Amino acid sequence: MRIALGTDHAGYPLKVAVKQLLEQLGHEVVDFGCDSEERCDYPDFIRPAAEAVATGACERCIVFGGSGNGEAICANRVRGVRVPLCWSEETARLGREHNDANGLAMGARVVSEDLALRMVRIWLDTPFEGGRHVERIRKIDEPG
């Protein structure tokens, strides 16, 4: 799978760990930055990662920040991209099962590296449940 990554300075160390995991699992990673812990503005890196999913250049994206809140908000502004902010294994699983999440947002200041890596594996391995959730996603993706 081709997976886009984007982060700000606070999420950079977590991005490095997740990138290593993804490559070990055989995924192709497209890294939109940032490339250090030097202060930066997250939309400069998050929006391009989300747009890569929207255009089909990547199948999924993972975005990182201090809390992950701003990053999730930014990514979700891109039409067709569904990025839950996850802080537990259950939120990662439900994001895929119920929301067909094609993105994942995490906060490096609120989740440990170990938990983040477990959430990524769950998010990658969990299929979309379909059924009653299909109509809800259609309502999200189509303008009212």
Task: State the catalytic residues.
Answer: 71, 98
Dist. CA 112–CA 106, nearest whole Å: 10
* Angle of CA points 57, 99, 58, to nearest 5°: 10
The answer to whether 5 touches 44, Cβ cutoff 8 Å, is: no
The answer to whether 35 touches 135, Cβ cutoff 8 Å, is: no
DSSP 3-state assignment of 85? strand
| Strands of the chain, DSSP E | 2-7, 28-31, 60-65, 103-107
Q: CA dihedral defined by 117, 70, 16, 21, rounded to 10 degrees?
A: 30
